[in-house]
Amino acid sequence: EAQVTQNPRYLITVTGKKLTVTCSQNMNHEYMSWYRQDPGLGLRQIYYSMNVEVTDKGDVPEGYKVSRKEKRNFPLILESPSPNQTSLYFCASSSAGRNTEAFFGQGTRLTVV
Amino acid sequence: AQSVTQLGSHVSVSEGALVLLRCNYSSSVPPYLFWYVQYPNQGLQLLLKYTSAATLVKGINGFEAEFKKSETSFHLTKPSAHMSDAAEYFCAVMTINDYKLSFGAGTTVTVRA
């Protein structure tokens, strides 16, 4: 089954404690992205990757890091989380070409206290 | 740069009535356009997409949307609402040079019995 898998689904952490949210896709997609969803703001792109070892900032990259060492994995790293990073996070992957569409993970609800 | 405007953050319809969700976009290049649906505590599911083929696009669950270039619109409709259509709906635009998705703020649909 084609899918994007995020872990964990729920996470409560304290300010300043480094954390990583994992994302893996099994569709051999070139493009992967991270979004955060906040009420009234829709989804905003944090970082994206167009292929292995190629990453770039999205619209709200401050406080986040990513890496793309393998095609299937695209972890999101918060080196020093702060309360304003409390949000619902989604990973997505998509193929190139006219038949493209983005497939989304189930989301990670992060609370930073 | 592209942006997406969804008119109305909340829409309430009676069961059996027409559902109309409005989406306008701005883009410097011809975009691909998408509608996604999000049910509570779930990820985003693709309803339909426009990728420069037919301007009237049919999707899942009886939804359809029409791409109108002159109006820069991609409104979503369903002739007869069902209780199961209660969800949040997102319009998104993708630029094909980097496959970046930009989302509208979302419209929450409630269906009255």
| Matching residue, tokens 């729920």 | A10
Q: A89 falls in which pLDDT band (50, 70, 90)?
A: very high
Inform me whether the pLDDT recorded for B86 exceeds 80: yes
pLDDT tens, B42-59? 889 999 999 877 889 999
Per-residue model confidence as pLDDT tens digits over A23-43: 999 999 999 999 999 988 889
Which pLDDT band holds residue B1 (cuts at 50, 70, 90)?
low
Element (H, E) at A49: strand A42-51
Q: Do B99 and A96 touch (CB under 8 A)?
A: yes
CB pairs below 8 Å between A and B: how many? 62
Residue A66 has pLDDT above 90, yes or no: yes
Mean pLDDT is lowest, of A8-12, A74-78, B66-70, for: B66-70
Q: Which residues of A touch B5 (CB under 8 A)?
A: none
Average predicted confidence (pLDDT) for chain A: 94
Q: Are strands A65-66 and A76-78 parallel, antiparallel or unpaired?
A: antiparallel
Per the prediction, chain B carries an average pLDDT of 91
Looking at residue B51, its pLDDT comes to 84
Q: The sheet that has B3-7: what strands, in order across it?
A: B3-7, B19-26, B73-78, B64-68, B56-58
**Confidence (pLDDT) at B109:** 97
Residue of B nearest to A56 (CA): B98
pLDDT of residue A104: 94
